[in-house]
Amino acid sequence: AGRRLVAGGLLTAGALEMCRLTALYDAAYFALAPSSTPGRFRYGSEDGPEEPVVEPREPDDTPGGPRPVPVADLERETLRRRDLLHRIWPDALPDEVPLTREHRPAPPPLPARRQAVLARVDGIRTASEIARELGRPAFHTLVDVRRLVAAGVVAPRPPVSRTEPVPGPPGDGPPVEFVDPHVTLLKRLRDALEAL
């Protein structure tokens, strides 16, 4: 589809490349963010059934054709993005949980871009859901959310305490999902061992 837009003169090859790189770097940020260890990518699959090895293609010289991106560039961009978010607001909790508005007597003036994000903060939506609804890259929305948190306009929704029993007979309601708290630790350990 991108090549057709470039061939039809509706999009420049540079703009298409920027769109591709933005999507690639966003995906790399979310895939590589839990660990700062070096990435190792292998062709084929270790975890699944045996699949044929796919050799990388040579870059396509046609306008709008995809260009390969070295793994080192992906890692550098992932670390740069992580550092940027940390400088804005060091706590990553707002990236993952539903967001609520903080009512202040005199809220700071906000640019239209952040006002659009703030308008969708309702105590239910997460940053990624807001990004999807706005049709924006997820990382750019994370930047806006962290800036809103740093300004004191938005906060992560506090966890719901379950001190009281939930009314109703046992078995009613949605099934409870078990979340292993050690999954992230195990993934980091695996990444560190692979790096050795």
Render pLDDT for 139-193 as a digit per residue (tens, 0 to 9): 999 999 999 999 999 999 877 666 655 556 666 666 666 555 556 666 766 777 7
| Amino acid 61: pLDDT | 54
C-alpha closest to that of 56 among 45, 48, 44, 46: 44
| Amino acid 60: pLDDT | 53
Could you say which residues of the chain have pLDDT below 50?
35-39, 41-49, 51-54, 56
- The H or E element spanning position 100 is strand 99-101
pTM value is 0.64
| Amino acid 44: pLDDT | 46
CB neighbour burial string for 45-75, b if at least 16 within 10 angstroms, e if fewer: eeeeeeeeeeeeeeeeeeebeeeeeeeeebb
| Amino acid 146: pLDDT | 96
| Amino acid 170: pLDDT | 60
| Amino acid 54: pLDDT | 47
| Amino acid 34: pLDDT | 55
